[in-house]
Amino acid sequence: MGRSTSSMVKLLVKHWVQSSEQLVYVFGGDEREGYVASTIQGVNRVPHLVAGPTVQLAEKHRMSPVPMKALRSGAFMGDELVHDPGLWGLVQAGTPTEVAVRLGDNLTAAGNASFLAVSSHRVGVVVETEHLHTETEQPAPEEPAEGFSLLGAAKSVVRGVTSLGGDAPDNPVTCGFEVPMNFIREIAPVPMGRGGKPLRFLRFWFADGSSLSIKHAEAERAAETIRQNIR
């Protein structure tokens, strides 16, 4: 079993958040369960196909629902796929190198063991270091665009340990990829899907034109909470 969201919040406050920032929202636990799909260069992937470097978790910690067969075969139009109960997030991007794709890569690689953390300064995909697959150094995320500056990159370079045992890691939290708030154009609730009752998603729009939308029943409240606390 993975860590609860409230327990992860305590770890993030102590080991991820810097003295100059405030932890605003953490999407995890019941709010995080589900797979991520993507539309990149007009090509749909259900689930999203990892394209870049990511955190590597032990298999027993990588769990995500399997998309419905019709969706896996591409038998849908527009954003109909959001009605699959197993879908949690949707990446939309023009190229595989854009920010939303890097976030989607790590959310997919870690599955339901990952958390999407939002602070007053940045947004990142975080996991428990003890869930990492092997004892390897986790590299700081590559910069996805010219002029892009990762805050606290040093905290993303930690030594993981095998989930089968070993000494406790120096940092119990590993950040697979993070984006500074100054690279985010907007965070807002959006209706998605077809029919008379669209589903509510919280969308992160990035400066490179890509976006990450996550299913959230209280998207309006979450967006307002984040907007009031970002810097």
Provide the phi-psi class of 224: left if phi over 0, else alpha when psi is between -120 and 50, else beta. Answer: alpha
Task: Report the share of the chain in percent with pLDDT over 70.
Answer: 73
Strand partners, 23: 119
- pLDDT for 21 equals 95
Give me the chain's average pLDDT, please.
Answer: 81
Q: Mind listing the pLDDT tens digit for each residue in 110-157?
A: 988 899 999 999 999 999 998 886 544 445 555 554 444 433 333 333
Closest-CA residue to 116 (of 48, 46, 210, 213)? 213
How does residue 11 score in pLDDT terms, banded at 50, 70 and 90? very high
116/107 Cα distance (integer angstroms): 8
Q: Mind listing the pLDDT tens digit for each residue in 159-206?
A: 333 333 445 567 899 999 999 999 999 999 999 987 777 889 999 999
- pLDDT for 107 equals 94
Q: What one-letter code names the amino acid at 66?
A: V
Q: Looking at the chain, how many residues does it have?
A: 231
- pLDDT for 18 equals 93
| Cis bond upstream, residue 67 (ω within 30) | no
Beta strands 23-27; 211-215: pairing state: unpaired
Edge-to-edge strands, sheet with 115-119: 23-27, 115-119, 122-128, 173-180
Return the minimum-mean-pLDDT range out of 63-67, 83-87, 163-167, 173-177.
Answer: 163-167
Closest-CA residue to 19 (of 151, 182, 115, 124)? 151
How does residue 84 score in pLDDT terms, banded at 50, 70 and 90? confident
- pLDDT for 2 equals 63
- pLDDT for 29 equals 77
Helices within 64-127 (DSSP H only) = 69-72, 99-110
- pLDDT for 93 equals 97
How does residue 83 score in pLDDT terms, banded at 50, 70 and 90? confident
14/164 Cα distance (integer angstroms): 25
Distances (CA, A) of 127 to 28, 70, 99, 170: 10, 31, 18, 14
pTM: 0.81
Residues 159, 170 contacting (CB under 8 angstroms):
yes
226 vs 154, more confident: 226
Mean pLDDT for 72-76 is: 58
199/212 Cα distance (integer angstroms): 15
Q: What one-letter code names the amino acid at 21?
A: E
* Greatest C-alpha distance within the chain: 54
- pLDDT for 176 equals 94
